[in-house]
Amino acid sequence: MTLEFFLVESFSHEDAKAQRNTSKLKKLCVPLCLHVFVAKFLLSQNIIYLKTIFNRLSMEKLSINRRSFISQLSMSAGGLILSQKLHLLKEQPRKLGIALVGLGGYSANQLGPALKQTQYCKLAGVVTGSKAKGEQWAKDYGFPEKNIYTYDTMSQLAGNSDIDIVYVVTPNGLHAEHAIAAAKAGKHVICEKPMATTVAECDAIIDACHAANVKLSIGYRLHFDPYHQELMRLAKEKDFGLLKKMNGDRGFVMGSKAWRADKKLAGGGPLMDLGIYLVHGACMGANGVAPLAVTAKYHTKTRPDIFSDVEEGISWTMEFPGGSIADLQTSYEHTKDYFKAEGAKGWIEFKEHAFTYRGLVVETSRGPLNFTPPNQQALQMDDFAQCVQLNKQSRVPGELGKRDVIIIRAIYNAAEAGNKVLVKV
Ligand code: NAD
């Protein structure tokens, strides 16, 4: 299409006055033809914008002068170039490189496979204590062996431009050490839950990321799950009224002593590992607000040989502003994954796999929910990669991880003291 065509087509239905102005405009445009054709050559798919300008000029009865026309034209060309660039960015994003620290169950079964589905990031390296494991991962995921590090060589990540983000997936008691090492190497950090075993460690991670000017996010994948997003929406919009009554139970049977029953590495028993989901879920049900106070009671140990220095099970109550109450329990002695929140006008019940990756069965007082289950981890890591690309804060930042560790420590204090403990977030 030529510029002439635009002029004719754009102005053919206008009144006589507009047509007189059209010929004025034609004269004005001739010296600009070359300019326009260069723009058209570069941006041929978007030429429709030029037509829009001429139409607008016509409708405004051509109250233009040469300067404003040129200015509109160049703004349009600038807009076209920007739109072209955004289009390219959308179609061909640079995938950021992620290095997983710790190649245990969660990395191998969830995060690695999810990184084959991500659009904005990919697995580019690993940090592991096992050379053979690292080499196998390099083969499976197609990254060079130079991108395999040990826990002792994490500082060398600094010189590796293949790796933008370090994802800490080691036992809880090592999160602070590994997250801080990653930040010091200048890498953005994702840290698994619980963020750390103490509030002081959470602060140290946040401070290290701040000092290194890198972003920090916690592996709270359920913020990317549609059922949990619905819980957040219900809480925010008070669709069922204030969710005043919540209850939940999460547990699995741990058969032998592992790091999860080692206080130094785990920071506690099932409350640190599984109960954290209930703590977080109840705060979602309270519209993102932390409880004012907690009470708690340890369960009687049935296998004190395994649970010699951590609890085997614990029940606790969270009291939220506005009067909402959450009665929750977690255990390594029975298997359960359940959560319910009720308001005066309705309820939402996570009947099965409430906090798991898939297979969630969720009903409300209005009927069952049937969302298409996404890959939570892929969405979570893609979201963080986009936060890094666009310089945005993660929706699951370090401060959220720290909030939960503060609540968990208050629950332990309440169980130890046998009293209500105020939560100071
Ligand atoms: P895991 O035991 O399967 O793996 C732990 C990894 O850490 C192993 O590769 C192990 O070799 C390594 N490691 C390094 N130093 C170690 C040490 N001193 N002792 C023991 N192991 C050491 O554990 P996992 O299930 O993969 O859990 C790892 C982290 O991921 C934990 O913080 C856990 O809470 C978290 N996690 C999160 C989810 C989730 O859904 N977000 C699910 C599972 C685990």
Which range of residues forms the domain containing residue 26? 3-91
* Residue appearing with tokens 């620290």: 101
Query: In which order are the strands placed within the sheet that holds 421-422?
Result: 367-369, 361-364, 346-352, 336-343, 245-251, 325-331, 313-319, 293-298, 421-422
Q: Are residues 77 and 40 in the same domain?
A: yes
Please confirm, yes or no, whether 106 is among the known catalytic residues: no
Question: Is residue 312 included in any domain, yes or no?
Answer: yes
Q: How remote is the CA of residue 257 from the centroid of ligand 1, in Å?
A: 14
* CA-105 nearest atom, ligand 1: 3
Q: Are residues 83 and 130 in the same domain?
A: no
Q: Phi then psi for 98, rounded to 5 degrees?
A: -110, 140
Question: Is residue 382 included in any domain, yes or no?
Answer: no
Note whether 196 and 202 are within 8 A (CB): yes
Note whether 166 and 188 are within 8 A (CB): yes
Q: Are residues 310 and 292 in the same domain?
A: yes
Question: Is residue 135 included in any domain, yes or no?
Answer: yes
**Any atom of ligand 1 within 6 Å of the Cβ of 172:** yes
* CA-130 nearest atom, ligand 1: 11
Amino acid 113 reads: P
Element (H, E) at 233: helix 226-237
Helix (H, G, I), strand (E, B) or coil at 142: coil
Nearest CA to ligand 1 atom 43: 106
- Rounded CA-CA distance 38/388 in Å is 35
Please tell me what DSSP assigns to residue 193. S
Among residues 197, 220, 243, the one where a domain terminates is 220
- Rounded CA-CA distance 80/291 in Å is 50
- Rounded CA-CA distance 328/320 in Å is 14
Spell out a b/e string for 215-254, using b for 16 or more CB atoms within 10 Å of the CB, else e: bbbbbbbbbbbbbbebbbebbeeebbebbbbbbbbbbbeb
Element (H, E) at 331: strand 325-331
Q: Where are the alpha helices (DSSP H) in 43-184?
A: 48-59, 66-91, 105-106, 112-114, 131-141, 175-184
Query: Each residue's pLDDT tens digit in the chain (425 positions)?
Result: 333 323 222 323 333 333 434 444 444 433 443 343 334 433 333 333 333 333 333 333 333 333 333 344 344 444 444 444 444 445 566 899 999 999 999 999 999 999 999 999 999 999 999 999 999 999 999 999 999 999 999 999 999 999 999 999 999 999 999 999 999 999 999 999 999 999 999 999 999 999 999 999 999 999 999 999 999 999 999 999 999 999 999 999 998 989 999 999 999 999 999 999 999 999 999 999 999 999 999 999 999 999 999 999 999 999 999 999 999 999 999 999 999 999 999 999 999 999 999 999 999 999 999 999 999 999 999 999 999 999 999 999 999 999 999 999 999 999 999 999 999 99
Q: Which of 106, 131, 355 to mutate to test the pocket of ligand 1 (most atoms within 8 A of CB)?
A: 106
Question: Is residue 123 included in any domain, yes or no?
Answer: yes
- Rounded CA-CA distance 178/197 in Å is 13
Q: How remote is the CA of residue 106 from the centroid of ligand 1, in Å?
A: 7
Question: Is residue 379 included in any domain, yes or no?
Answer: no
Q: Are residues 261 and 347 in the same domain?
A: yes
4: tokens are 């002439």
Q: Are residues 276 and 413 in the same domain?
A: yes
Q: Are residues 29 and 126 in the same domain?
A: no
Q: How remote is the CA of residue 167 from the centroid of ligand 1, in Å?
A: 12
The count of structural domains within the chain is 3
Q: Are residues 413 and 264 in the same domain?
A: yes
Q: Are residues 200 and 334 in the same domain?
A: no
Note whether 335 and 251 are within 8 A (CB): yes
**Any atom of ligand 1 within 6 Å of the Cβ of 259:** yes
Please confirm, yes or no, whether 357 is among the known catalytic residues: no
Q: How remote is the CA of residue 264 from the centroid of ligand 1, in Å?
A: 14
Nearest CA to ligand 1 atom 8: 104
- Rounded CA-CA distance 400/377 in Å is 18
> Which of the residues 40, 193, 215, 402 is marked catalytic?
193
Q: Are residues 15 and 109 in the same domain?
A: no
Note whether 29 and 76 are within 8 A (CB): no
CA atoms within 13 A on the CB side of 185: 27
Q: How remote is the CA of residue 170 from the centroid of ligand 1, in Å?
A: 4
**Any atom of ligand 1 within 6 Å of the Cβ of 106:** yes
- Rounded CA-CA distance 377/118 in Å is 9
Q: What is the CATH number of the domain that holds 132?
A: 3.40.50.720
User: Which residues lie below 8 Å from residue 325, measured CB to CB, with a gap of 6+?
Assistant: 244, 245, 246, 317, 318, 319
Among residues 38, 56, 91, the one where a domain terminates is 91
Q: Are residues 150 and 78 in the same domain?
A: no
Question: Is residue 388 included in any domain, yes or no?
Answer: no
Nearest CA to ligand 1 atom 38: 106
Question: Is residue 195 included in any domain, yes or no?
Answer: yes
> Which of the residues 277, 332, 338, 412 is marked catalytic?
277
- Rounded CA-CA distance 25/28 in Å is 5
**Any atom of ligand 1 within 6 Å of the Cβ of 104:** yes
**Any atom of ligand 1 within 6 Å of the Cβ of 197:** no
244: tokens are 């005043």
Q: Are residues 246 and 272 in the same domain?
A: yes
Q: Phi then psi for 257, rounded to 5 degrees?
A: -70, 125
Q: Are residues 61 and 177 in the same domain?
A: no
Q: Which of 169, 337, 356 to mutate to test the pocket of ligand 1 (most atoms within 8 A of CB)?
A: 169
**Any atom of ligand 1 within 6 Å of the Cβ of 191:** no
Question: Is residue 344 included in any domain, yes or no?
Answer: yes
Among residues 59, 91, 123, the one where a domain terminates is 91
Q: What is the CATH number of the domain that holds 413?
A: 3.30.360.10
